[in-house]
Amino acid sequence: MSESQQDIDALLAEVNALAEEAVASIADGEECPPMPPVRPPRAVRPGSSTATPPREGPGGESPVPRSVKSGRIATARGPGSPVDLSRILNIEVPIIVQLSERTMPLADILNLTTGSIIEFDKPADSELDLKVNNKRVGSGQAVKVGENFGLRITQVGSVRDRIRAMGGP
């Protein structure tokens, strides 16, 4: 199902409004609901030794807030006036796992050929950067998931940092 540009713009405006509200509640010292755990990729088979089970919150309950599970949340529009978040929560955004970066003279870039090796100043065993919208939101260790590459998150930024990375205030 393809969305029109107008639908996308409306969703983006709604996400920005929700992000502003979340940042304001964080700034006011309100307790923020816990973020859901990062789920393993779909390619992971049950019982695989590389799969990490999802974490549970205190008391064994799911760390996903009820408002997120239901896809509805009350906003500043008025008490009891829910916003349907299901469309927003289903928006796929690109994430980047970055090994390293460096600058090179243009002449060296033009001289690259098949088999050329570019050396980076980062140790081979150091953590990789996790980026959303080209902004660093965390880091992790490279892992093998079946025949695919994965990232075991070792550090993730605050909710405020992640909202800002997605284009919030």
- The Cα–Cα gap between 114 and 97 comes to 23
Beta-strand (E) ranges in 32-74? Answer: 72-74
The two tokens of residue 151 are: 């990232």
Structural contact between residues 82 and 73, judged by C-beta atoms closer than 8 angstroms: yes
Query: What are the sequence ranges of the domains in the chain?
Result: 5-165
**pLDDT of the chain along its 169 residues, tens only?**
456 777 777 777 777 777 777 666 665 655 545 544 544 445 444 444 444 444 444 454 444 555 454 554 444 555 554 566 777 778 888 899 999 999 999 999 999 999 999 999 988 889 999 998 888 999 999 999 999 999 999 999 888 878 777 776 5
Q: What pTM does this model have?
A: 0.49
Report the pLDDT value the prediction gives residue 27, as an integer from 0 to 100.
Answer: 59
Using only the alpha carbons of the chain, give its radius of gyration. 20
- One-letter amino acid for residue 137 of the chain: V
Q: Is 5-165 a CATH 2.30.330.10 domain?
A: yes
